[in-house]
A and B are shown apart, each in its own frame.
Chain A
Amino acid sequence: SQTIHQWPATLVQPVGSPLSLECTVEGTSNPNLYWYRQAAGRGLQLLFYSVGIGQISSEVPQNLSASRPQDRQFILSSKKLLLSDSGFYLCAWVASRETQYFGPGTRLLVL
C-alpha cells in the first residue's frame, strides 16, 4: 500500500533562517506531488506541484522554493524565513480517481 511521510512534524525557526521540509512517498512510482500550506483556521493553499523529477510548478510568488531530486521525494525550502511563512505544510500525492492523499503535515512556527 502507498504511504506518504513528512518530516519534521514540528519546527520552530527564527526569522531569516533557512528551511527544508521533506516529503517522501512509498508504494507508487512517478506520482504527481503537491505542497499546500494552511494558515490557522483557513483552507489549504496550493504552493507547488510536480509531475516528475526536476519538474516544479509554482503557484504563489513567495520566498519558498521546491525541488524533486528523486521520483518519490519532494522538498520545500527557503533561504530566509519570514513571519508570514508560519503555518501547517501538507504534502499530497494523487492516487486513483484523481484523489489526493495527504501526509501528516509539518507545523512551522517562525518567531
Chain B
Amino acid sequence: AQKITQTQPGMFVQEKEAVTLDCTYDTSDPSYGLFWYKQPSSGEMIFLIYQGSYDQQNATEGRYSLNFQKARKSANLVISASQLGDSAMYFCAMRDTGRRALTFGSGTRLQVQP
C-alpha cells in the first residue's frame, strides 16, 4: 500500500522568503507520480507541480520547485519568494499505477506573514 507522510502540520514564513514543505512517501511500485496541491480557504484543490519517478530533473513551475530525492523517498516542495496569497493548506499526493487515483498526505498549513 502507498503512504504519504507530511510531518509539518503548520509552517510560518516571512513574505519574500523561501519555504520548504516536507513530504516523504512509501510505495513498492517502480513507477509512480508525485503531486503537490494547494487548497486555499475556499476549498478548491489547485494543482501546483508534478514529478514522475523516472524524471531525471527536479520539476519546476514558476516559484514552485520539487526537491525529489528518490533514494530517501522524499519529494519536498520549495516555494521561493513567498507571497501573502500563498497562505493555504498544501497537500502532497502520490498516484498509484493501477487505479490512477491519488493517495494524499495530511497536509501542511502555510501562513505567510507580512
Q: Do A and B bind each other?
A: yes
A44 to B91, CA, bound (A): 9
Main secondary structure of the interface of B (DSSP, over half): strand
A104 CB contacts on chain B under 8 angstroms = 43-44
Query: Which of A16-24, A62-70, A95-103 faces chain B?
Result: A95-103
Decide if A42 touches B106 in the complex (CB within 8 Å): yes
With an 8 A cutoff between CB atoms, is A27 at the interface? no
Taking CB atoms and an 8 Å cut-off, the chain A residues in 8-45 that contact chain B are: 32, 34, 36, 42-45
Decide if B43 touches A107 in the complex (CB within 8 Å): yes
With an 8 A cutoff between CB atoms, is A49 at the interface? yes
Decide if B102 touches A100 in the complex (CB within 8 Å): yes
Decide if B44 touches A105 in the complex (CB within 8 Å): yes
B72 CB contacts on chain A under 8 angstroms = none
| Contact flag A97-B50 (CB < 8 Å), given A43-B107, A57-B99 | yes
- Minimum distance in angstroms from A82 CB to a CB of chain B: 22
Decide if B47 touches A46 in the complex (CB within 8 Å): no
| Contact flag A88-B102 (CB < 8 Å), given A97-B50, A98-B33, A99-B50 | no
Decide if A90 touches B33 in the complex (CB within 8 Å): no
A88 to B107, CA, bound (A): 15
| Contacts A43-B91, A44-B102, A101-B47 known; 9 new A-B pairs at CB < 8 A | A36-B102, A43-B106, A44-B45, A94-B100, A100-B95, A100-B102, A102-B37, A105-B44, A105-B45
